[in-house]
Structure 1
Amino acid sequence: MTKISVLVHGYNKNKKDMYTLGSNLEKLGHRCIIVDLPLTYKEIDYALSVFEKNIEEILNGLRENEKINLIGHSTGGLVIRKFLLNTKYIDRINSCVLIATPNNGSELADIVAKRFKLFTSTYKTLKSLRTEYVKKIGFIKNDKIKVGAIAGNKSRLLIGRFLSGDNDGRIKTSSVHHEGLSDIIILPYGHKEIHYKWDTAKLVDAFIEKGKFPHENLKAGY
């Protein structure tokens, strides 16, 4: 059976940023649909309304018994989390994978909001990434839907030096963790590259297939 996967890009990006992941997943038997969301100048709630319409159109084009997987990079993962909390299509969702998603908020967004308020007034998506906001987002409680996360811990970006502890240059590794996750795995990649890697695509596919990541295979050179 074909795996139908919807890919969601992150902050200040567009659908092109997910083309490589989509191509890699298609090599693994997925049919990928990549959406374009306003995740730069609008807050997440507005992007969510656009995403809901996209999902409705996608599902209307599928058979009633077909389910979809949701895969989001960074802020795209938060859009997916909010969507899962209040959607009439919950029975049409199979699995979800959040890649480098700040599930506990972005420390960088906190710094920008505090020191450069004019910046967040323009780039409003950043306001929705603040720790104070993200921690108010609930986590779906549905045994039928598995939600996994892939985090990076390789910081090659100068801005990553402003963060305490392991990070991917944008998001702290600890912020990707969340008690609601079914599983989480950490890769030695940075925030801007992690979703471009073949390893990541293979892990996404493995989670969708099994509901967990192959930790033992990764240690052996997966």
Structure 2
Amino acid sequence: MSRQKDKSGFGVKGKDDLARSFGEMLLSGRALEKRKSPHIKLEPKLKPRAKASFGRKDGAPGTSVREPQGGSGQRWLRLPNLFKRRSWKTLVVWGFAIALAVQAMALVFNVPVPTLGGRQLWTDVRISDGWRVQCHAWTGHCRLLDRHNLRHDWGREDEMLAALDTMVAQGRIQAPRPDAVVLVHGLGRSAHSLDKMAEELRAQGFEAVQFNYASTQGAIADHARALNRVLDGLKGVRTVSFVTHSLGGPVVRQALEQNKQDFEVGRVVMLAPPNQGSHVARTLSQYAFFRTLLGPALTDLASPSMQVLAKPPSPFAVIAGRVSVLSGDGDGVVDIEETKLKHMSKHLVVPASHTFIMDHPDVISFSVDFIGAVRKHAIETQKAQNEGHKT
């Protein structure tokens, strides 16, 4: 105890005043900052920097105007309020307004501009070398798109078809290849969902026709009639094969049953088709929200009439998906048994989900090989005819 008393500055060596001030603070309960001690510096070493004035309203703190070097005394010009710092909601509103203004100017002057999307509301009427005439499901007006989805013109249907015929006459649109493959997407999707399949078919020398239709705005019979209009517009083709996904399978079956085409129907590859209906569609069709969201086609997929649709009039193959054994015997939307159809040439099961089954490498390879047999058969038939003429 004597040693502690002799030690100057209990707790701090050689700092009697500081130790006394700290001890008094603990005993009295007063804050340390109220004590006036020369040994304690309460001011921060680094002062916070003043915030920039960019994006702040006039009169707000930190809005001092910076003068340029040279002492001219002229102040910097302030940016318009539109370009000042805004919230993300304001930027979204302004961006949408600018996009609408650009689209309106393009409509007035017929300037080729990208579309705003909305592929679920547009149905193809005629397709030629990637160019297409589409009609809106609600308004009925049509537009002319090039192979890069740039809108070149809009108006009535007859006007757009005449504009497309004019481009064909001018040589801006090439003649189709003799063997065409029509790709039909599923419910809630668009023609771009089959881009990888179309690229591989084009690389193998086929005329890939990606049919886009407003799948949520009509029944299967309506989509089948729209498909027949596109098929009637295919001129100069020898055979037409089909690659379908989900709802596209029943649409093609209905279309081939409605009309007899002038061309020869090649082969059909159906990816995850609800040939026997879909248990998911039957469940969702019980709720008004999903019936409104997905349209009359959902009710068609849930009805027993799916089982009485005519099969394709040519050899066809069915590819089903299986996500995993634990999730059930199917791709999450359609079971494997629901995809089967009588008299099918081939039934293949791949480890893929319903949404992305068309991008599976095995699916693309099998589809191209299965459809490629049509071209081999056509070449052999042509050789046999030529030899018959010689004899």
Answer whether contact 2:200 2:368 (CA < 8 A) is retained. Answer: no
> What's the counterpart of residue 184 of structure 1?
347
After TM superposition, list the pairs within 5 Å mapping 1:1-222 onto structure 2.
3-58=179-234, 61-63=235-237, 66-89=238-261, 91-114=263-286, 116-124=287-295, 125-140=297-312, 142=313, 145-154=314-323, 165-210=328-373
1:134-188 CA distance string (max 9 Å, x none): 1232224x4xx111111111159xxx95xxx411111111111111312211111
1:92-136 CA distance string (max 9 Å, x none): 21111111111100111100112x134214422211111423123
Shift of 1:81: 1.0
**Which 10-residue stretch deviates more, 191-200 or 117-126?**
117-126
Amino acid at match of 1:87: N
Shift of 1:3: 3.6
Q: Highest CA radius of gyration, 1 or 2?
A: 2
What TM-score does the superposition give when structure 1 sets the normalisation length?
0.81
Q: Structure 2: give runs of 5+ residues left out of the alignment.
A: 1-176, 375-391
Answer whether contact 1:152 1:186 (CA < 8 A) is retained. Answer: yes
2-side partners of 1:184 and 1:75: how far apart?
Answer: 18
Answer whether contact 1:104 1:131 (CA < 8 A) is retained. Answer: no
RMSD, aligned CA: 2.2
Q: Structure 1: give runs of 5+ residues left out of the alignment.
A: 212-222
The DSSP-based 3-state class of the residue aligned with 1:167 is coil
- Size of the alignment, in residue pairs? 197
Answer whether contact 2:183 2:242 (CA < 8 A) is retained. Answer: yes
> What's the counterpart of residue 152 of structure 2?
none
> What's the counterpart of residue 153 of structure 2?
none
Answer whether contact 1:96 1:148 (CA < 8 A) is retained. Answer: yes
